[in-house]
Amino acid sequence: MKADKPEETPRRRVVAGVDGSPNSLLALRRAVYAARLCSACVELVRVLPSDATPTTQIAGLAMLEMATRCEFPGGPGVRVRYTVECGDPAEILVKRSVGAELLVIGGRCHPKHGKLLGGDVVPYCLGRVACPLDICADQRAPARPARNTRPRAILKAVES
């Protein structure tokens, strides 16, 4: 009799923050594309407020699963892990970047208070992530670079 082998988890992973916004859905698509290129799995992270109820957390998980099905009706072609955490999105995404090949996040479409990409997540992550950072700031941009074009630069966190 053969014992079931535990499924091997790829050591490489690409992390994407997904909240359902157009730029976060682009981040999901770019994360899957990057994972395909480097034979990694994708970890989709949904961050909820600290006081989120268990029902809200389950809804967050369902949103990640639905977003994946909508963006990749035939399946993403890579292994996907869903993570729902409660707390500060910027801090949690920085924590999840440890050991990752890449962190992909969406910037806000309409910056407030003079911030280049709006919100607090992008500026916080810029100087603190433990891996390269890809910021999706234009939801109309393709997830996959066009042929014969140079890939966009991926920002690397710089120690302060």
Mean of pLDDT values over 74-98: 95
In a domain, 159, yes or no: no
pLDDT at 107: 83
In a domain, 132, yes or no: yes
Instruction: Dump pLDDT digits (tens) for 94-117.
Output: 999 999 999 999 886 555 555 555
CATH of the domain at 85: 3.40.50.620
Coil, helix or strand at residue 151: coil
**Count of C-beta atoms within a 10 Å radius of residue 119:** 18
3-class SS string, 93-141: HHHHCCCCCEEEEECCCCCCCCCCCCCCHHHHHHCCCCCEEEEECCCCC
If one counts the domains in the chain, the total is: 1
Coil, helix or strand at residue 77: coil
Mean of pLDDT values over 115-134: 79
In a domain, 153, yes or no: no
**What's the rounded Cα separation, in Å, for the pair 28 and 18?**
7
In a domain, 75, yes or no: yes
In a domain, 121, yes or no: yes
Q: Which domain holds residue 37?
A: 13-146
In a domain, 44, yes or no: yes
> What's the token pair of residue 56?
């809200």
**What's the rounded Cα separation, in Å, for the pair 155 and 102?**
10
pLDDT at 137: 78
